[in-house]
Structure 1
Amino acid sequence: MYYCYRKKRYIMIYLANSREMKSIDTYSIETLGIPSAVLMERAAYATAVRICEVLKDTEGKKVIAVCGSGNNGGDGLAVVRILTTMGVSSAWYMAGDTAKATKETALQIKILENMKVPRCRSLDELTQADLIVDAIFGIGLTRPVEGNFARTVEAINRCRAIGRAAVCAVDIPSGISTDTGQVLGCAVEADFTVTFGTLKTGLVLYPGACHSGQVFVENIGFPIEATDQARIHTFAFEKEDIVRYLPKRQAYSNKGSYGRVLVIAGSKNMAGACFFSARAAYNCGCGLVRVFTVQENHDVILEKLPEAVLTTYDSTLVDMDLLDQAIEWADSVVLGPGLTCAPYAVNIVAYTLKHCKVPLVIDADGLNIIAGNGSLWDSVPQNTVFTPHLGEMSRLSSMPVGQMCLDLPKTCREFAKNHGIICVLKDARTIVSDGANCFINLSGNDGMATGGSGDVLSGIIGGFLAQKMDPLTAAAFGCFVHGLAGDAARKEKGAYGLLASDIIQYMSKIIR
C-alpha cells in the first residue's frame, strides 16, 4: 500500500530513480537555496510523526535508530532527537564511521551528544527496542552491503523476525537498489518505509516492494520546479486517475461511436482465449467486437458471447479475403491469444502485420511466431503493443530471464526503443514503455496468475485503442484497470480460486 500526498498540478504518481531524486535534491539546495538542514529537519519530523502513529501509545516504548555516516544517517539521528523532545524513549547506534560523517550528519551527532541522548555501543542492544529506525543507507547505494554493514542489517532483521521490534526504513530500506528494487547483498526488511518527495522505483519493484512494507510518501518541501527539472520519466496510475482517463460516453451516440475491435485468436480446443479477449474488449466500453477464429470454435463463441460478430475459417485453407475484410472493418486488432504456432497461424500473423493499418496488440502465440520468424520484424507497424510475459520476452530478445530481471524497466524501455513499439512486460509488477517513458503498474495480485488472465488484458488494451486512446496510455491504463478488476475479484473470492472470467466480471466494479 502506498500513501502519497498529491501535488495538484500532477496527475498519476511519479516514480523517481536515484539520479532523478538526487537532481531534485541538488536543485532545491544549490539553485533555489533551500538549506540541506531544513530538508533534513522536515524529513525527520515527518518520520517521527509516522512512528508515533504506528506505535500509537508510545509510553514505555523504546526507539533505536541505526545510522550510517551519510545524510540518510543524519535523517535517522534527527528522528531520534525529535522523538526525544516528544517524550519518546530513544537511542542511536552508529553503523557508519563518525569520522566520515557528512557535515549535516556530524551536526546531528553533536546535538545528540549535547542533549545526552543515549548511544548504543553494541548491536545486542537492539533487542531492547520496540521499533528500530533503519537509516544506514539512502538512495545512493550501488554496491553490495558487506562486512559490518551486513552484520548490522542481519541484526535488525533478526530483531524483527523474533517479533521483538518493528522496523521503519528512512527513504528506502538499506540494501535495496533505488533504481531496480534488487537486493544489493542483503537488505533490511521493514514494516513500513517513510520516503520523501516522491515514490522511488525500488520501493515498488520486487523484491524491493517486499522489503519496504507500507510506504508513506511525505512532502518535505521540494518545490514543483525542482521536480519538473528532474524530468522524471517513470509513472504509475492511481485510482483517482480512472475518471480522468476512462473514455467518455456521450448521450448522442451509437455502437459505432465507441470503436470496433477485431480479435484474431483461438484454435482447436482453445476457444477460451478468443472469448476472454473479446469479452474484455466489450467490458471496457467498445461498441463492437468481431472474433476471427477457426470454425471449430463457432458454436462455443456463439453460446458464450452472442454479442460478438463471428467470422470463422478452415485452418487447412485460410481464406485471406475474409481476414482482409475483417482487418478493414476494425478500429483496432488483437492478434495472437491461443492462435498456436502452426503454419497457417504463421501466415495469419504475417498477413495481419503487413496489412493492418489500425492500432495493433500482439499477445501470446502472435509473439512466439514473431520470435521464431525473424523476418516478420520488418512488417511490425510502429507503436504496435507487444504484451510478453518474461518467457516470451526472453524468446523475443534472446536475453535470459535472470538477466532481464536485474533491471526490468531498462529491459522494457530498451526493447521498446529498439523496435519502435510499446512493450508491456508482464510480471508481478508489469512495466509498460514506449522507449522513452515508463509506467509501472501498481494494481493486481498473485491470484491473477491464472490461465486466460493475459488474454483478458490484451482485450482490454484493444478495447481502449478502438476508443482512440493513444497506444502508450491504452497499454498502461489497460494494465491498471485489469489489475484493479483482479483486486476487486480477490477481495470477494480470494486468491486461490480466482479465474480469468472473474477478472472480466469485476471490471464492471471498476469501469462505470
Structure 2
Amino acid sequence: MSSITSSKMRSVDVNCAYIGLSQLQLMENAGAAIARETMSRISSGKVLFVSGRGNNGGDAFVAARHLALSDAYDVRVILTAHSSRIRTEEARHNFSLLAYSGIRELKEIPDSKELEKYPGWKDADIIVDGVLGSGIKGAPREPESTAIDLINSSGSYVISIDSPSGYDLDGGDISKSVFADMTVTFHRMKTGLELPGSDRYTGYVKVVPIGVCRDAEEYVGPGDLMNLLRRKQDAHKGDSGRVLVIGGGAYYGAPALAAMAALRTGADIVTVAVPENVADAVASFSSNLIVVPLSGDRLNPANLPVLKNLIESHDVAVIGPGIGRDAATLETVEQLLPFCKKAVVDADALYGLSLPVKSEGKFILTPHAAEFSRLLGEEVPRTFAEKKGLVTRFAGEKGVTAVLKGKIDVISDGVTTRLNRTGNAGMTVGGTGDVLTGITGALFAVNDAMDAASCAVFINGVAGDLAFDEKGFGLLATDIIDRITDVISEVF
C-alpha cells in the first residue's frame, strides 16, 4: 500500500470511530503489536516503557500490559506527567488497567530533575518510546525533552511507537528527537518516515496492521473535514474565500440556492452574476448576496468583459446553476473557463462541454448520471466497480476532479478515488444539486480540489439526512442549506 500523511491518518482514525470502530479498539491492537515486536527482539529481560500524555502513551500502556503477562519480562512504566494530565479517555482507561497487570514498577514523574534521578535508564534491555505522538511541532517541552535525552543516552535498544518522539512527520525542522533502532508504525507507511535522512531517527521501520476498516479510508467521513482550512481568529474579510456564482437567466432559484449554500459553508463573500431579467428575484433571496446584473435575459458573449473582471477578483467561479442551454450561453461558458483559476462546473454548463480545458486552471465537475453519460458519449455502466473505474479514468484523462452524484457518490481526480454514502431519497427534490455546487465552491475557494469535492458531498449528504429526519419526503433544498452549519460545527 502507498504511504499516507500523518494528517490523513488522523482523519482515518476519526472515520473509524464514525463507522463504529472505537479508538480504544485500535489502541488495543496497536499496543498488542508493540508487545509482539518487543518479544521478537528478546525472549526475556528488562523493558522500560516511557510514556507521554497522549495516545502514543496509551499504546505503550497496552503494550506493557500485554508484555507483563509473561514472567520472562521485567516490565516497568514511566509516565512523564501526573496521570490526571493524560489527555484522552482511551489512554486514561489503559493507564488505570496497569494497576492490575503485574507491572513491576509504575511511576508518574512529571519533573525533569526527578526523571534524571530515575535509576533504571541504564539497565533496560529495551526502551519503548511512547513519549510524543505524530502531531509534534517545534521543540519538545519539558519534561519530554529530558526524557528524549535520557532515552538517547541509555545505550538500550529503542523501539519508537508510530514515530520517534520529537520527529516531525510533516518534514519540519527537528530540534530534538529520539534516535530509535526500530520504529513500529501502524496501518500504512507514513510519508514522513520516507523522507531523505529519516532513517537516522527511525532506524528500521516496520508497518503493522491494526484492524483499520477499509471504508474508513475509502469513504469520506468527518475525519476528512478536519483537514479543511479553518477560519483563524485574526482572519480578515475575504480570507475564507470569495465565491462567484455565474448562472440564471433560464431560472433564478438555482443560482440563489448555490450562493446561499456557499455562504452557509463559510465563504466570506459570495457574488452572483445573473442576467438582468432574474437579478431582482435572486437578490430577494437574501440581503447577504451581492448581485451583479448582466445584460440580456440569458448569459451571452457580451457579458464576457464583466465576467472576466469578476473572475479575477474571486477565488473560485461556480458556473452553471440555472443558465439553460442556449447556444450563446454555452459558447460563453466555453470562453470563460480558460480564465478561471478555479471553477466548479455543474448543471447545463456541462452540456456540450469540451474537455480538457486549455488552461492551467483547476476544475471540479459535478454531474449526475445522465450528465456524465453526455460528457462520456456513452452509457454509464451499471456495475459499481465499472462506474468507479470509469470516473477515475475520465478524471485522469480530462485533467479534472469529477464528482459522479448517485446513491453512492464517486469522487476522483484520476489519482485518488473516494466514495460517499451520505444522503437519502428525499434529496431527489429540485435544487439539492445546486446546494452541493455552492458547498463545493465555498470549500474549493480555500482548499484543494479533491478535499473540497470529497468533503462537499459528505456535508451535503449529512445536512440532507438531518433535514430528512425533520421533514421526511417533504424536505426542500432550503432545508438542507439550513443544516449545513450543524454538520460543520460538529467537526470545528
TM-score by length of 2: 0.55
SS at match of 2:243: strand
Q: Which of 294, 311, 315 matches 2:275?
A: 294
Asked whether the equivalents of residues 363 and 401 of structure 2 are also in contact (C-alpha less than 8 Å), the reply is yes
Tell whether the 8 Å contact from 1:341 to 1:369 is kept in structure 2 after alignment. no
Report the residue type matching 1:353 in the other structure: L
Match of 1:250 in 2: 232
Between the aligned partners of 2:333 and 2:313, the Cα distance in structure 1 is 17
Does residue 306 of the first structure (1) align with residue 287 of the second (2)? yes
**Contact 1:315–1:344, Cα closer than 8 Å, also in 2:** no
Local SS of the residue matching 2:426: helix
Q: Is the 8 A contact 2:241 2:267 kept in 1?
A: yes
Q: How does 1:158-173 map to 2 (within 5 A)?
A: none
Task: Determine the structure 1 residue equivalent to 2:475.
Answer: 498
Residue of 431, 453, 458 corresponding to 1:480: 458
Match of 1:366 in 2: 349
SS at match of 1:396: helix
Q: 1:470 to 1:227 in 2, by over 3 A?
A: farther
- Aligned-partner SS, 1:459: helix
2:487 corresponds to 1:510: yes
**Pairing 1:285–2:266 present:** yes
Residue 382 of structure 1: CA displacement? 5.2
The answer to whether the Cα contact below 8 Å between 1:277 and 1:455 also exists between their aligned partners in 2 is yes
Maintained 8 Å contact 1:443/1:480: yes
Question: In 2, Cα distance between the equivalents of 1:333 and 1:296?
Answer: 21
SS at match of 1:290: strand
Q: How many Å separate the matches in 1 of 2:285 and 2:234?
A: 30
Q: Name the SS of the counterpart of 1:485 in structure 2.
A: helix
For residues 385 and 406 of structure 1, do their structure 2 counterparts lie closer, same or farther at Cα, with a shift above 3 Å needed?
same
Aligned to 1:263: 245
Q: Indicate yes or no: 2:355 matched with 1:355.
A: no
Matched, 1:444 2:428: no
What SS does the corresponding residue of 1:401 show, helix, strand or coil? coil
Picking from 284, 309, 329, the partner of 1:325 is 309
Q: Which residue of 2 aligns with 1:43?
A: none
Partner of residue 396 from structure 2, selected from 404, 417, 422: 417
Give CA-to-partner distance per residue, 1:61-82, whole Å, 9 cap, x none: xxxxxxxxxxxxxxxxxxxxxx
Is 1:460 equivalent to 2:439 in the alignment?
yes
403 and 239 in structure 1: CA distance in 2 versus 1, 3 angstrom threshold: closer
**1 CA distance for matches of 2:333 and 2:327?**
10
RMSD between aligned residues: 3.2
- TM-superposition CA deviations, 1:385-435 (whole Å, max 9, x none): 011111011000122134575622111111111111101010010010111
Partner SS state of residue 340, structure 1: coil
Residues 330, 351 of structure 2: 8 Å contact kept: no
What's the CA shift string for 1:291-314, capped at 9, x where partnerless?
Answer: 111111111111112211111112
Secondary structure of 1:361's counterpart equals strand
Equivalent position SS for 2:208: helix
Render the CA deviation track for 1:24-52: whole Å, top value 9, x for unaligned: xxxx9xxx9xxxxxxxxxxxxxxxxxxxx
**CA–CA separation in structure 1 for the residues paired with 2:216 and 2:333:** 33
- Give the TM-score normalised by the residue count of structure 1: 0.53
Show the 5 A alignment for 1:170-249. Answer: 225-226=208-209, 235-242=218-225, 244-249=226-231
For residues 340 and 417 of structure 1, the distance between their equivalents in structure 2, rounded to whole angstroms, comes to 28
Q: Secondary structure at the match of 2:479?
A: helix
Structure 2 Cα separation of the partners of residues 315 and 473 of structure 1: 36
Matches within 5 A, 1:76-95: none
Alignment of 1:424-439 (within 5 A): 424-439=403-418
Structure 1 unaligned segments of length 5 or more: list them: 1-5, 15-27, 33-196, 199-222
Unaligned runs of 5+ in 2: 1-7, 17-32, 38-185, 188-205
Q: Per-residue deviation at 1:237? A: 2.4
Answer whether contact 1:422 1:435 (CA < 8 A) is retained: yes
Residues 233 and 436 in structure 1, CA contact (< 8 A), matched pair in contact too = no
Q: Are the counterparts in 2 of residues 441 and 479 from structure 1 also a CA contact under 8 Å? A: yes
Aligned identity (percent) is 31
Mapped to 2, the partners of 1:296 and 1:275 lie a distance apart of 14
1: CA distance, partners of 2:276 / 2:457: 31
Paired residue type of 1:506 = R
Question: Are the structure 2 counterparts of residues 9 and 469 from structure 1 closer, same or farther at C-alpha, using a change threshold of 3 Å?
Answer: closer
Counterparts of 2:344 and 2:10, CA distance in 1: 33
